[in-house]
Structure 1
């Protein structure tokens, strides 16, 4: 392939998280022609997991399943010229590269393996503080000093420039540390089509690649996985992974290999576009992407075109994910069946705290949640009690044993659904940012290190860029006064939710313009607070994406100090959208025909 080659670049995904399907790489390489095999192994929580791995295992700190997946496809990729790009390097890209080189040697496959680093700021925190960069928490405004604990990881989110440079230098495999999920598609696009973030005329193409990368980075979520209308998805048990056909203008087609299960539709692609975003102006290190401007077109079965995504200059500051040890935690869950559930829960709490010296106040944090059951269906309620403290012994067996000790001296039907256990460590997530000019991609290939600036010479913002849609609709509600029926909001509306550090995102979309008009006017921030009472006291932002027939909410603080530290039954807010879809509301009967 050359820069003048008009053919699209076929980029396949084989992993959406550390722990995804091991056979996916083989399925994507053997299922049809591809040019690049990529996968996302890193989430905000994964950096903590890799930190623990590095502590336990010399040379650890990278996603070992990446190497396992490559064992069955490395030779085939080399024969066919398929490039491999992954962020599985995590905290130790060099260690991952050494493991891949050892695998290639054992298989007799000649390969050039490059690493892209420069994201790890853990050793530079003092330097940053000295230059008046206090790594302020972007959600709370607190300086890093307020964390009160030494950071154990600090990684900036880099873009695709280092990946592109490695591929241009002839790398067959590129292993990165922390880059944005979309960079795994943007970087190969920059290599293949010669896009430059410093050129204004390339911003739209880069933005289109950001959109395509965001869609395929979570694996099967683009092909029918975790889809609200999952009963419409054929053969979901054998869901195929997604791939994108990326074009020189940044437009793309999302599809999957023939003969695989799942579905690629405007709906499945919309759901993934809404996943874990905030504003429709989706910032990435190489360009901002205006998701409110893009269009989705169902070209044919399992082929959805993304086009028209407008780009903006790269941001001057890049996101940094900081993690610190939080201490230890433990959770016990008690089943409460039958009548008088609140009184039984109160008695269970009183009995527990009476067994612990100092009671509830003796812990740094103690969180109690009563998850309601369904008396009509004989489903029990669940009382979840979570304690957190720097003292490992206090929250370990001493706590779980105290829960068990009350079993014969409390309410009728008492039993636990969790086994007594020791304490587990947890981490605190701290989102921050630093100037892009302070960062460089360090590309190492064949022992030679090349530095690529992370900051781009920003062109002027494109003229005529439309303003972001107003958060609330203009004009009267077209369904005001129409007859309604009380039904679950999910009767009409799909949802996709997830975590953004300590915040949760909740995207909702309609499947017709009439249903969107109703959704847009009906589901205000105030009504969201009514339907989801846990959001009532939190700051909520509302965004509109009319081109996608969608609205997106960002619920600040719902997840506390991040996935590892919060005590919600659903710590990553994955089920928040489905909870909302089950809530009853007044739906116009005209929309149900």
Structure 2
């Protein structure tokens, strides 16, 4: 058995988690995921300002406190904190170890950076970052060469778990089922405390004031048990694991550079308190291309929030909108987006409760158009608009926004390289066998629910949900808690029903996937998030709360379920 823990789900996660995971119980490997689509843009801007940067500086500070502890306990560290500069982070770790009187074998993985070869790879110009998602075998090669710490650039999040597992159990590219099981375990771990109750739909059932971080007990066949250190907060249940399995996935085929894991084969079973077993995962050969994430500056944006209080909210909003747009005139930015949030309550006992928010978001390639003209147009109405006019804050000068998009490249054009602790460089070959991602047959629906009386109630009374972003698309997974609920959910929550419940998605392409083993339906909503989180085209730019909005919507639910 190999015990792999996670201590970071994003750049900015709980700083003390690394030390806590090392001291709260035994581990063989500690991982940390620091990279998201938005993070790559942040690191690209760091690197542009200083070529020696481009990595997650937080991790280096965490190692100042915990590197000696990890070495003393024999725990290997595997993180993607190298970001856009894994070689420099590896060198900084060696310097840190020397300063602390330690001898630490540090390896790193590189080759994901496509910017030097952007033109020959057919990528567009003007990119700040372009990175292929590498797989697990560069990490495994470093560990087999004796590395005690491995830092990577852009690898798949699940590779942080699959790499150590492949090294420990001796898996090769042909061990597809075992790799798929490790990838699924890695996907559960990658977002840290989301697997132990964080962001969980039924959060009132557990003490989530300070959830612990998750652990996967990996076995040689790829099966695992998800758990956490004893005595830490939160909970590990089939529900918390189901929620994370549905997060940011698109259909039953979960594709990666090493293997395509079949999420429709996953079996979850309770294995005792705070223990959930994952088994029977099947794997297929990976697709013939590698996914790459591209980040560029999209232009400039600004935002103004006007407060509307009391009566005639709609009329006040209409007047303000007309006045601002009239004042902008020829200086009007390329994009204007108005949203009115009716946060007001009638006969409210407090002024804030009596107020609504009218938000204006503007975007333009020219910074000058989103700054002074917008500020002047809004502030200039202070004494000449609707009664009670004021802003939440003065408008700023505008800020750059980023655009993320995915591209797909030939693996042969990507030199996936493991750099061993002694400096030896080993090129990692692409997967020897690939398989195109063909659509799966739609699984049969379960038997329809038994007819009976219904009652109007929120969907969240009987179903959980978890949502998130993939570039400009939103993922929304919904699961039932028992078989009766699953029969009703599968027949009721269709694409058309989703469009009716969530009017914002009514005109967008929506795909529904059934995952009967998880009693879940998983939706992909194309284009809801525009050009991705960095573009911030929506109130909830990462669709984090899309699932909770859906759960709050009312529909006719069988009384037997309620």
TM category, shorter = over 0.9
**Partner Cα separation in structure 2 for residue 379 and residue 248 of structure 1:** 60
Change (3 A) 1:534 1:467: closer
Q: Which residue of 1 aligns with 2:553?
A: 583
Q: Which residue of 2 aligns with 1:407?
A: 382
Matches within 5 A, 1:80-479: 80-129=73-122, 135=123, 144=124, 150-197=126-173, 199=174, 202-234=175-207, 236-358=208-330, 362-376=332-346, 378-446=353-421, 448-458=423-433, 468=440, 470=442, 473=445, 477-479=448-450
- Pairwise CA distance, 1:375: 2.4
1:23 lines up with 2:24 in the alignment = no
**Partner Cα separation in structure 2 for residue 452 and residue 176 of structure 1:** 14
Q: Which residue of 2 aligns with 1:507?
A: 477
User: Is contact 2:303–2:395 with CA below 8 Å preserved after alignment?
Assistant: no
Deviation digits for residues 393-449 of structure 1 (CA, Å, limit 9, x no counterpart)? 221244234312212211122221233212111111121101222223212234534
**Partner Cα separation in structure 1 for residue 439 and residue 373 of structure 2:** 57
Where 2:556 maps in the other structure, the secondary structure is: strand
**Partner Cα separation in structure 2 for residue 417 and residue 518 of structure 1:** 44
Deviation digits for residues 232-258 of structure 1 (CA, Å, limit 9, x no counterpart)? 112x12210111111111000111111
Q: TM-score, normalised by structure 1?
A: 0.91
- Pairwise CA distance, 1:342: 1.8
Deviation digits for residues 564-586 of structure 1 (CA, Å, limit 9, x no counterpart)? 11321100000100000000100
Where 2:53 maps in the other structure, the secondary structure is: coil
In structure 1, the gaps of 5 or more residues are 1-7, 130-134, 136-143
User: Is contact 1:332–1:386 with CA below 8 Å preserved after alignment?
Assistant: yes
**Partner Cα separation in structure 2 for residue 469 and residue 546 of structure 1:** 13
- Pairwise CA distance, 1:152: 1.6
- Pairwise CA distance, 1:349: 1.0
**Partner Cα separation in structure 1 for residue 3 and residue 135 of structure 2:** 20
**Partner Cα separation in structure 2 for residue 438 and residue 454 of structure 1:** 11
- Pairwise CA distance, 1:356: 2.2
User: Is contact 1:252–1:307 with CA below 8 Å preserved after alignment?
Assistant: yes
Question: How large is the RMSD of aligned CA atoms in angstroms?
Answer: 1.8
**Partner Cα separation in structure 2 for residue 414 and residue 460 of structure 1:** 60
Change (3 A) 1:405 1:300: same
1:76 lines up with 2:69 in the alignment = yes
Q: TM-score, normalised by structure 2?
A: 0.96
**Partner Cα separation in structure 1 for residue 378 and residue 487 of structure 2:** 51
Where 1:10 maps in the other structure, the secondary structure is: strand
User: Is contact 1:439–1:454 with CA below 8 Å preserved after alignment?
Assistant: no
Change (3 A) 1:87 1:586: same
- Pairwise CA distance, 1:379: 4.7
Where 1:356 maps in the other structure, the secondary structure is: helix
- Pairwise CA distance, 1:175: 0.6
Deviation digits for residues 310-368 of structure 1 (CA, Å, limit 9, x no counterpart)? 11012211111111111111111112222222211111111212332425xx2121111
**Partner Cα separation in structure 2 for residue 215 and residue 256 of structure 1:** 12
Q: Which residue of 1 aligns with 2:528?
A: 558
Change (3 A) 1:449 1:353: farther
User: Is contact 2:288–2:435 with CA below 8 Å preserved after alignment?
Assistant: no
